Structure 1
């Protein structure tokens, strides 16, 4: 049994992780902002803590005794630069510093495919290896900064840090692009558990993606830390293609990299389809 601390504990990913991590025998510290509701907290295995993401002291106290911090707290799409800086960049720095002060040996940082959004999907380092950051938005810049902070804390303080470039997290793939990029909740759980148990040291950038038949990115960086995804979006392909037969994008960031996608505007000035 391990103690895991999750920031952004009310969000989609943490909500999916919680029952799976409890079923694996672990106890959880659930950290989210003041007044943010957390559903169905199990008092036997979970403890909820209210903290601003930039509050180093409160988070350090919450992280005390944890074996792993899973940092999921962030704006999850494009925002004005000031908001991205305050929450995604300053917030990540505060989480890393709180983990260091608390003596937590391992960090899993939720990066994003949008840290490399302008990389062509057929680039050599996509097929084999890991491309350098090429962010497509302010949001993508924040995730590149997150990876840089992960490298700093691993190198300077001897922590094991995994920065996971999460692609398309959902219960099931929702469109053609996600047939390549889907990350299932079960595979996200496998990524957390791999970070908890890996013998690898230092900083590792991996793809947060399932073992999809149409996947374009390399699983090798994840396999190097013991992350071996099992799910495949292909089992959902016939239904997805009937709903939307459009073709996948030419760059990893998809529509985020389009000229029409406005920097600093939620959803790039567009709204999701109903």
Structure 2
């Protein structure tokens, strides 16, 4: 069927996507930095997968890797807070390089992994979250990089007539881990549905959507995703009793959770405290 290129192929999201996309009949190009491949990509299926080792900012290497692809799924990035120079080099310059490589390779569709942290200071009870899509309100340097990713996606969609989906991924995991994730969970199966929507949507242009499952306690709007054919099916409520038994605390009042807390130090991995969802 389709040829799909994944950046950040050794990461958690790509690792969950790979068997699901292969089962749907798709072939994959797995792109990651040489020092990131290692053990994470030892289970490559040579019949359906090809590995490309390249720095995220290497435009020529990625343009070659993307040749013939129907969709580029850009997942490569630092996935939490880092010093500004590291965020700039990998998350911002890397995104621009991937988009330029896709353009040079003639790829007409991209799915870019944005984050809820691009809008981390939006209150969970805000009408801006519940209806439509709020403007960026980043909570960290990491959040700024994801707002920049959305802007770059919009540029490439507008200037080069590409179809670009920027997905504000909320809490991706096998199952919800805490009270906040009962609102924000994105299941692996629904992440796969999001990729397939970006692959098949007939709506051109740039689209910012929430990467979230159909959770009963969801505080964001599914309508932007539904408009491109992303119809999530899973619900964190199936895990609610287990989550609440383990942690009965209330979820935070802003979308970014602990990333938006004043104790979360800008430029420090995990805010200098602990990993956030």
Instruction: Please report the TM-score for the alignment, with normalisation by the length of structure 1.
Output: 0.99
- After the TM superposition, list the runs of 4 or more consecutive aligned residues in structure 1 that deviate by more than 6 angstroms: none
Matches within 5 A, 1:94-243: 94-243=97-246
Which string of whole-angstrom CA distances, capped at 9 and with x for unpartnered residues, describes residues 181-207 of structure 1?
Answer: 000000000000000000010000000
Matches within 5 A, 1:8-157: 8-35=8-35, 36-37=37-38, 38-157=41-160
Deviation at 1:41, TM superposition (A): 0.3
Deviation at 1:272, TM superposition (A): 4.1
Deviation at 1:123, TM superposition (A): 1.1
Report what 2:5 is aligned to: 5
Q: Within 1, Cα distance between the matches of 2:250 and 2:232?
A: 25
Gaps of 5+ in 2: none
Secondary structure at the aligned position of 1:79 is classed as coil
Secondary structure at the aligned position of 1:225 is classed as coil
Q: Within 2, Cα distance between the matches of 1:81 and 1:175?
A: 29
Which string of whole-angstrom CA distances, capped at 9 and with x for unpartnered residues, describes residues 219-274 of structure 1?
Answer: 0000000000000000000000000001011110011001110000000001349x
Q: Within 2, Cα distance between the matches of 1:243 and 1:56?
A: 46
Q: Within 1, Cα distance between the matches of 2:42 and 2:273?
A: 30
Secondary structure at the aligned position of 1:231 is classed as coil
Secondary structure at the aligned position of 1:114 is classed as helix
Deviation at 1:39, TM superposition (A): 2.7
Gaps of 5+ in 1: none
Instruction: Please report the TM-score for the alignment, with normalisation by the length of structure 2.
Output: 0.98
Q: Within 2, Cα distance between the matches of 1:253 and 1:126?
A: 12
Report what 2:253 is aligned to: 250
Secondary structure at the aligned position of 1:29 is classed as strand
Q: Within 2, Cα distance between the matches of 1:27 and 1:142?
A: 29
Which string of whole-angstrom CA distances, capped at 9 and with x for unpartnered residues, describes residues 63-107 of structure 1?
Answer: 000000000000000000000000000000000000000000000
Q: Within 2, Cα distance between the matches of 1:8 and 1:272?
A: 19
Deviation at 1:21, TM superposition (A): 0.1
